[in-house]
Amino acid sequence: MIVIEFKVKGKSNQYQAIDEAIQTAQFVRNKCLRYWMDNKGISRAELYRYNTQLRSEFPFVEALNSHACQASVERAWSAIARFFDNCKKQIPGKKGFPKFKKHSRSVEYKTSGWKLSEERKRITFTDGKQIGKLKLIGSRDLNFYQPDQIKRIRLVKRADGYYCQFCIQVDVLIETTPTQKAIGIDLGLKYFLADSQGNTEPVPQFYRKAEKQLNRANRKKSQKYRQGAKPQSNNYHKARVRYARKHLRVSRQREEYCKRLAYSAIQSNDLVAYEDLNVKGLVKNRHLAKSISDAGWATFRKWLEHFGRKYGKATVAVAPHYTSQHCSSCGETVNKSLSVRTHVCLHCGYGADRDHNAAINILQKGLRTLGHRGTSTLGEFDPLALLEQSCGVTVGR
């Protein structure tokens, strides 16, 4: 399944119709969630029957396409099922009890309620919300896919406009020539990443660079807010949109940076080992929370795993424990604080940058995890021999 996104162009009354469709989908989801809270133990089928009751009771719900209403029911049931799964798995902390949505930003259609034009540059929504025909703006060509491959369509509202997403069922596996290379990646704050070959990438710090402009836009937004005024003035909403657009730009910069690095790592190697970091736990450190969030480690991992599946490459998440403390040459432990940036082993004399040493340890863990010790299953090469050759360390077999 792939997702292709286009920006849509329409008139102001069409945008208002999209907003109404989004609010209706939010209403159906919240009503189904309340019905589940009042009647514990009900099944998904009963939620679907309750959705039918809502459509007969509220005309604005009936105006929304029936499949779009069903998709809202599925969203509610997904939150309920996730909560029960977390309880069964006994995950620590909060289990994610379902919450009501206040500011939904999307409505999802299935296989009805919309129709593509012959040239597939426009889409028409045919339900009672009267969204009508919208122009699709983007470089992707939908003519490569059959209409029956499009399983879902989402209308998404963002700070800079409205978008249409096509969820297409297609095999995305692409065969590539083996590179006969393996790499370990250590994520950090001094460098965004350092690999086992000694290469580093700087931390872009998109949020910190834009923080001055963000704070100024936030102050202007706050100055136009009037306590107790309903609705707020048009100037307030304009300032709010300007502030949101600046945040959207920062998030897109971070996304593209992580995407480019992940694509490069996958294309250059047959195996990529990286740390299985608990980012949610790391951001609880109030001294490093802003820097960790700005780095985008979770985004990088998401794209790394995506490209690994797409191009048939092995991606291995290893435990990060002691990867910075162990010597990658002899395996002995060399304790050092976070401020010490150079690894010097007192046992074998091996010296290297702290992050480079950690990246080699991560690669070694990744190879052991896949059971490659003494084998040559990645193409026609021995990964440990490659590790000794490229990183300059001796690995015991």
Give per-residue pLDDT as tens, 26-72: 999 999 999 999 998 899 999 999 999 999 999 999 999 999 999 99
Do 133 and 264 have their domain in common? no
In this prediction, residue 355 carries a pLDDT of 86
* Domain contains 82: yes
* Domain contains 43: yes
* Domain contains 220: no
In the predicted model, what is the mean pLDDT of the chain?
Answer: 88
Do 92 and 141 have their domain in common? yes
Name which residue leads in pLDDT, 211 or 369: 211
Confidence of residue 371 (pLDDT cuts 50, 70, 90): low
In this prediction, residue 380 carries a pLDDT of 40
Do 147 and 200 have their domain in common? no
Range of the structural domain that residue 152 is part of: 2-168
Last residue of a domain, one of 139, 168, 197: 168
* Domain contains 397: no
Do 92 and 138 have their domain in common? yes
Confidence of residue 373 (pLDDT cuts 50, 70, 90): very low
The residues near 187 (Cβ < 8 Å, ≥ 6 apart) are: 193, 274, 275, 277, 295, 297, 300
User: Where are any strands of DSSP class E within the chain?
Assistant: 2-9, 106-109, 114-116, 122-125, 132-137, 150-158, 161-168, 182-187, 191-195, 200-202, 271-275, 314-318, 342-344, 351-353
What's the predicted TM-score (pTM) here?
0.83
Burial 354-364 (b: 16+ CB within 10 A, else e): bbbbbbbbbbb
Number of domains making up the chain: 2
Phi-psi region of 180 (alpha: psi -120 to 50; beta: other; left: phi over 0): left
Angle at 392 between CA 386 and CA 393, to 5 degrees: 90
In this prediction, residue 396 carries a pLDDT of 40
Do 88 and 189 have their domain in common? no
Do 109 and 256 have their domain in common? no
Place of tokens 């339900």: 127
| Residues facing residue 8 across a β-bridge | 136
